Amino acid sequence: MQVLLMNVPYEVSFRAVPTSVREARETVATAASQLGAGRGVVDDVKLCVSEAATNIVRHAYREDRGELRIRVESRGDELTVIVRDEGVGLEVFQREGELGHGLRIMERLAKRFAITSLPNAGTEVLMVFPLPTRVR
């Protein structure tokens, strides 16, 4: 899969189904690489996007499948990845169980991490990763 970044920020959406997790992960990894992320950061981005996308597929939508949306942008020496849905939201923020394990991974690998959620309005996961300083 080849992603050519014509516009930054780069935005993409996928159906919130299991087969979309891999496609989302690979698409964002390609975008991160094109924006200057090194192999280690690309690997971290892939794992974090996979965790966030899997949470959306498993938990965000009840019977109707919705979308998972991803935004990737770079500013200076930071790569920002936002993964969001418009699903049921997190009723209680948990750091234990299936959802909590993935969030702990994202929190550990990202330079900065934030999660926001509103009932019946969706959840947004923001992750910031380091990029090498560009020579001007």
| 3 within domain boundaries | no
Query: Does residue 98 surpass a pLDDT of 50?
Result: no
The model carries a pTM of: 0.86
| pLDDT band, very low/low/confident/very high, at 96 (cuts 50, 70, 90) | very low
Among candidates 134, 127, 136, which has minimal Cα distance to 50? 127
- The token duo for 38 is 């090194």
| pLDDT band, very low/low/confident/very high, at 136 (cuts 50, 70, 90) | very low
Domain of 89 in residue numbering reads as 11-130
- The token duo for 62 is 């009840």
Burial bucket for residue 20 (CB in 10 Å: 0-12, 13-18, 19+) = buried
| 2 within domain boundaries | no
| pLDDT band, very low/low/confident/very high, at 7 (cuts 50, 70, 90) | low
| 135 within domain boundaries | no
pLDDT for 48:
97
CA angle 24, 118, 103 (to 5 degrees): 50
What are the C-alpha distances in Å from 93 to residues 28, 90, 120, 132? 26, 6, 14, 33
| 56 within domain boundaries | yes
Q: Compute how many other C-beta atoms are within 10 angstroms of the C-beta atom of residue 75.
A: 11
| Residue 94: CATH number of its domain | 3.30.565.10
| 136 within domain boundaries | no
